Structure 1
Amino acid sequence: QRAPGKVLLDAVCNHLNLVEGDYFGLEFPDHKKITVWLDLLKPIAKQIRRPKHVVVKFVVKFFPPDHTQLQEELTSCLCMTPISVDLYRYLFALQVKQDLAQGRLTCNDTSAALLISHIVQSEIGDFDEALDREHLAKTKYLPQQDVLEDKIVQFHHSHIGQTPAESDFQLLEVARRLEMYGVRLHPAKDREGTKINLAVANTGILVFQGFTKINAFNWAKVRKLSFKRKRFLIKLRPDVNSSYQDTLEFLMAGRDFCKSFWKICVEHHAFFRLFEEPKPKPKPVLFSRGSSFRFR
C-alpha cells in the first residue's frame, strides 16, 4: 500500500511476461466513482482508499497507431523476440474485443463482422458452419450481433489456415483504420453550450458530436493545455489561415473530470513523442503537480 503505483503495474507486467509495460495502465473507480488511471508516482494507499472494495483493471492506455511497427519499436530498445511482440498484439487484440463488446469501438456492419470473424478464427480455429453458428449463438461479441451472423460466417470462411497470432495481426489491421480505434470519449460542452465529446489520440485532441468526429487539433497546433476548475483550455499556436480563437474553452462536468482529461492529454503527448526521439529510448516522462503544460 505504501509503494508507488509503478510497483503494482510492474508486478502485473511481470506476471504476464511483459518486458515493456509502457503501453498499458491500471484504471479503477475513485471514491467519487470516476474511472481514473493509477498514478505511477504516488503511493497506492493515497489513491485507493478501500482496496478490498475496488477492482483495478489492466488495460491498454496508449494504442499504437501502427502495430506493424511494434517489432521495430520494442526490439530496438529491448532486444525482444518475435514471440514477445505476438504477446503484445494478443493483448491489444483483447482490448479491441472488449471495446467492441462495450460499444466503445463503433463502426459499420461490414467492419464489425470482419473484426468478429478474426476473433472467431483466433478462438475456435478454421471455418465449420455448424460450429460457427453454435459458437455465435453462445458468445456475444456485439450487442446486435444476430443481424451480422451471415456476414461473420462468410468472412470466417476466408480465414482458413490463419493462426491465432495471424488473426490478432489482421484484427488490428482492421481496427487501426477505424475512427473510434483507441478513443475514449469525455463528455463536455463548447462555449455555446453545445454537448460534445473530447478525446485524445496519438495525433492530438479530437472533438466529437456523438460518435462523429467534427474537429481535430494535432499536437503541432497546440501551444499549451491547461484547466481551471471545470474549464479545459487549449491554447493554439498563431495561424493566419485559421478562423479559430487563440484559446479554445470547453466545459466539463467538474474539476476532477477536467483534471483527469488534462492529465491523459499530457501523457499522450509525451508518450508518442518518445518514438520521435533518438534511441536509446528515454525514460518514461513523469509529471509533477500543476494545471498547465506548455509544449515545446
Structure 2
Amino acid sequence: MLSRLMSGSSRSLEREYSCTVRLLDDSEYTCTIQRDAKGQYLFDLLCHHLNLLEKDYFGIRFVDPDKQRHWLEFTKSVVKQLRSQPPFTMCFRVKFYPADPAALKEEITRYLVFLQIKRDLYHGRLLCKTSDAALLAAYILQAEIGDYDSGKHPEGYSSKFQFFPKHSEKLERKIAEIHKTELSGQTPATSELNFLRKAQTLETYGVDPHPCKDVSGNAAFLAFTPFGFVVLQGNKRVHFIKWNEVTKLKFEGKTFYLYVSQKEEKKIILTYFAPTPEACKHLWKCGIENQAFYKLEKSSQVRTVSSSNLFFKGSRFRYSGRVAKEVMESSAKIKREPPEIHRAGMVPSRSCPSITHGPRLSSVPRTRRRAVHISIMEGLESLRDSAHSTPVRSTSHGDTFLPHINGATCSIEEEKESEASTPTATEVEALGEELRALCQGHSGPEEEQVNKFVLSVLRLLLVTMGLLFVLLLLLIILTESDLDIAFFRDIRQTPEFEQFHYQYFCPLRRWFACKIRSVVSLLIDT
C-alpha cells in the first residue's frame, strides 16, 4: 500500500514542470504547471500576476530546440508545444499591437505596450527620423527619471542611457535639450502616453519582421501591422496591402504566397521564400492570426484555414481568441480601481563613480543569460529572447535615424575587463625605463627580460595582424564572391550582414573605386 502511494506521488511530481516567463521589464515569473496544462492556463496565471485585464494584445513566445520562434497556442498543451527539456523558459510580449494605443482603457496596459515599443526602438525595429528619435527618447527619459534637475542631472546625463543600439553625442544633446525644456511637469503616465501617440504615427509601428527573399533572390522583410501587410526591401517599403485586400495566405515548404485583390478587380500573388519550412509556417500562422484579429468583426467569423488547396494535405490552423473590435468593446466595460503600477527603469546611480565614466546604461533592461552586443555571426538567434527576431533597415528618406545593430554597448563586467587590460601610469613609466635600458645597450638579466618582452609584443602584433587579414579576406569573400557554400549563405542571409553590406561596405567600395580611377587618370595624363 505504502509503495503504491509512493509510486503515485513520484508519478505526480514527474507530471509537474517548472516554467519561467521573462516579462517586458526583464523581471521573471516562475510557476509550476501540470503536464497536460494548456497554454491558456499559463497565460491566465501570468495575467493574474500582472493584474492585467486587457490581455488579448499579449502572448507568450518561445524558441524550440531548432531555434525556431513560436507563439504559444492557448488551446494546446504547453509541454507538447515546447518539445524541450524542463525547466521551460518563455517570454511575455505584445502579440497584437493596438491600432490606437491611446484608446486602451487601463494605464497598466498602456505601460506594458510602452515597454514593448521601447524594446522595439532599442533593438532597431522601430525606425524614425532623427528628430522623432530624440523626442521618443526624451519621453522615455521623462518617464523614468522625472523632471530635469540640475543638481541631480549633470552635463551629459542622457548619455548614461542607451535608447538605441547606437547614437551620436549630437543626438544625446538633443534628447537632453527636449527633456529639459519641453517635458517638465509630465508624469510617467503622461510621458508614456505621449510616447505611444508618437510611435503610432511611424511606418514601422507594430512591425514584426520576418526575413525572406523575393523571386529574384533579393532580401526582404515581411511584416504584419495593425493596418495591413508590408514588405520592406532595401531602404524602402515596396508593398503595403490593407487587410481587407488580402484574400488568402498560403505556404508550401519554404514558399509563402499572399493573394491580393485590389480595386478594379486587380488580382496579384506575391511570392516569397523563407529560410526554412518551419520559419515559413510560423510566418503563415502569424499572418492568419493578425488578419483575423484586425479584420474580422466577431470571433464567430473565424474559420479553420488550410495551407493548401488539396484536401488532406498541408497544415490546418485556426485562430483562437477575440478580435480587436470585441476587445475594445470589452475594455469599455471595465470598472475597477486602477491597479498599482511598479515601474522599472534603469536609472544611473550618482553614488557609483564607475558609472560616471563607464558604459551607457540601457533604458531597456538587459535580458538575462545573454549580452546586449549582437554580432553578425549570431544572426537571427541573437534576438530570440526579445519580442521579435530581426531588426529592419530604413523605410524612409535619407534623414531617417537608423540604429546600428553592432554598436550596442558592452556590459559593465566587460568594461571592467577591458579596463583591467589597460596599463596604468606606473606600468607605462616602468615600460619606458625598460625600453630606454634596451636602447642604451645594458646587458645582463634585465636585457634578457626586455628582449623577451619585446618578442612577446611582436608576436602579439603579428597574431593580431594575421587575424585582421583573415577577417578582411572572409569579408571580401562574403561580399564579392558568388560561392554558394552553406556557411557563407547563412551569414549573407542575416539582416545584420545585409545592413552592414548596404550601409557601410558598398559606400566604402565606391569611395575606393573613385580614388583608384582618379589616380589612374592622373597617371595617364602625365
- The TM-score range, normalised by the shorter chain, is 0.7 to 0.9
1:226 aligns with 2:245: no
Which moves more between the two structures, 116-125 or 136-145? 136-145
CA 1:132–1:51 in 2, change beyond 3 Å: closer, same or farther?
Answer: farther
CA distance in 2, matches of 1:204, 1:104: 17
- Give the match for residue 41 of structure 1: 75
Tell me, in whole angstroms, the C-alpha distance in 2 between the residues paired with 1:204 and 1:128. Answer: 43
Whether the aligned pair in 1 keeps the contact of 2:64 and 2:84 (CA below 8 Å) is: no
Query: Per the alignment, do residues 87 and 268 of structure 1 end up closer, same or farther by CA in structure 2, a change over 3 Å counting?
Result: same
Partner Cα separation in structure 1 for residue 114 and residue 68 of structure 2 = 26
Partner letter of residue 212 of structure 2? A
Quote the residue 1:140 is aligned against.
162
Secondary structure at the aligned position of 1:115 is classed as helix
Amino acid at match of 2:37: A
Question: How much does 1:238 deviate?
Answer: 6.3
The reply on whether 1:56 has 2:90 as its aligned counterpart is yes
CA distance in 2 between partners of 1:41 and 1:241 (Å): 38
* Alignment TM-score, normalising by the size of structure 2: 0.49
Aligned residue for 1:131?
153
**Relative to structure 1, is the Cα distance of residues 109 and 53 closer, same or farther in structure 2, using a 3 angstrom cutoff?**
farther
Over 3 Å counting, the alpha-carbon distance change for 1:12 and 1:41 in structure 2 is: same
Alpha-carbon distance, 1:254 to partner: 1.6
Whether the 8 Å contact between 1:29 and 1:54 is mirrored in structure 2 is no
Which has the higher mean CA deviation after the structures are superposed, 170-179 or 31-40?
Answer: 31-40
Partner SS state of residue 306, structure 2: coil
Matched, 1:290 2:309: no
For residue 201 of structure 1, the aligned residue among 204, 225, 231 is 225
Aligned 8 A contact 2:215 2:271 in 1: yes
TM-aligned CA distance change 1:167 to 1:192, over 3 Å: same
Do the aligned partners of 1:187 and 1:196 also contact (CA within 8 Å) in 2? yes
Q: Aligned-pair distance for 1:135?
A: 4.4
2:212 equivalent to 1:188: yes
Q: Which has the higher helix share?
A: 2
| Alignment match, 2:141 | 120
Q: Which residue of 1 aligns with 2:5?
A: none
Segment of structure 1 superposing worse, 160-169 or 135-144: 135-144
The question of whether the paired residues in 1 share the 8 Å contact of 2:251 and 2:257 is answered with yes
Aligned partners of 1:232 and 1:258 also within 8 Å: yes
Cα distance in 1, alignment partners of residues 84 and 265 from structure 2: 52
> Which residue identity does 2:167 align to in structure 1?
Q
With over 3 angstroms needed to count, the CA separation of the structure-2 counterparts of 1:70 and 1:270, relative to structure 1, is same
Could you tell me which amino acid in structure 2 is paired with residue 136 of structure 1?
A: S
Cα distance in 1 for partners of 2:270, 2:223 equals: 15
Partners of 2:262 and 2:112 in 1: how far apart?
Answer: 41
Closer, same or farther: CA 6–133 of 1 in aligned 2, 3 Å:
farther
Gaps of 5+ in 2: 1-34, 309-316, 319-526
How much identity, in percent, do the aligned residues show?
39
> Does 1:260 pair with 2:282?
yes
1:67-90 Cα distance to aligned partner (Å, 9 max, x none)? 22223xxxxxxxxxxxxx111111
Give distance in 1, aligned partners of 2:154 and 2:49.
33
Question: What amino acid does structure 2 have at the position aligned with 1:222?
Answer: V
**Aligned mate of 1:68, from 84, 102, 108:** 102
Q: What's 1:99 paired with?
A: 120
Deviation, structure 1 residue 21: 1.1
The match for 2:107 is 86
**1:42-88 deviations in whole A, cap 9, x for unaligned?**
101111123546531101111112122223xxxxxxxxxxxxx1111
User: RMSD over aligned Cα, in angstroms?
Assistant: 2.4
Gaps of 5+ in 1: 72-84
> TM-score under structure 1 normalisation?
0.84
Between the two proteins, the alignment pairs up a number of residues equal to 273
The aligned residue for residue 151 of structure 1 is: 174
Secondary structure, aligned partner of 1:259: helix
Secondary structure in structure 2 of the residue aligned to 1:131 = coil
What SS is found at the alignment partner of 2:185?
coil
Task: Give the Å deviation of 1:26.
Answer: 0.6
1:6 deviates by 1.2
* Partners of 1:145 and 1:176 in 2: CA distance: 22
